[in-house]
Amino acid sequence: MSDAAESPTNPQHFRKVFGHLPTGVVVVTGRSLDDELVGVTIGSFASISLDPPLAGFFIGRASRSWSLLAARGKFCANVLAASQTELCWRFAKDAPDATVGSRFDGLEVGVSANGSPVLPDVVATIDCDVHAVHSFGDHDLVVGSVTALRTLQTDVPAMVFVQGKTGDARIIS
């Protein structure tokens, strides 16, 4: 029997246990209908299907960024390099007084095939059109049709995230 502190309905406990599971880190970027740059750090991004090519992620339904990206129906997953810890936290921070676009301040941003922002020095980009959205609890599962994908840096390790810290995906045995 688990006590209340170890219950699945205790968010701290839920986060702590899932924090042992390493994930990759992407910044999902896009543009709002007003052409504002949008970007949010996501650890749940994964490939879903090869034929047809589908990929997706889970995002909190309260997310400001997601409501802006959903309106446009396109996004780009920017796969972060192990060294890009600052970008990981920058695009995860709440900025209630600022516009979502302020997360891009000072960055030299490129443009992906579908017009989404490409962050500097990322390992790869995956462009998607929103194909389907399904709600589960307090999150949406966003399924994207992959329309373009590129490796931008072959000799740079991708980031992993585990127990609240960033690390290097190539330090594996």
Ligand X SMILES: Cc1cc2nc3c(=O)[nH]c(=O)nc-3n(C[C@H](O)[C@H](O)[C@H](O)COP(=O)(O)O)c2cc1C
Residues 91 to 130 in contact with ligand X, rule: CB under 6 A:
92, 94, 100
Number of residues that bind ligand X (CB under 6 A): 19
Three-state DSSP class for 58?
A: strand
Position 64 contacts ligand X (CB under 6 A): yes
For residue 120, the one-letter residue type is P
Residues 147 to 166 in contact with ligand X, rule: CB under 6 A:
161
Q: Which one among 54, 58, 71, 152 touches ligand X, defined by CB under 6 A?
A: 58
Q: Which one among 63, 85, 99, 147 touches ligand X, defined by CB under 6 A?
A: 63
The region of 10-18, 40-48, 117-125, 127-135 touching ligand X under the rule CB under 6 A is: 40-48
The region of 41-49, 70-78, 105-113, 116-124 touching ligand X under the rule CB under 6 A is: 41-49
Position 85 contacts ligand X (CB under 6 A): no
**Least distance between ligand X and beta carbon 49 (Å):** 19
- What six digits make up the tokens of 140? 């949406």
Residues 19 to 38 in contact with ligand X, rule: CB under 6 A:
25
**Among 149, 148, 171, 150, residue whose Cα is nearest residue 160:** 171
d(CA 12, CA 5) in angstroms, rounded, equals 8
Q: Which one among 29, 30, 32, 41 touches ligand X, defined by CB under 6 A?
A: 41
Three-state DSSP class for 131?
A: strand
d(CA 1, CA 95) in angstroms, rounded, equals 40
- Would you call 33 exposed, middle or buried from its count of C-beta atoms within 10 A (0-12, 13-18, 19+)? exposed
Within 8 A by CB and 6+ apart from 104, the residues are 37, 39, 117
Residues that bind ligand X (CB under 6 A): 25, 40-44, 57-60, 63-66, 88, 92, 94, 100, 161
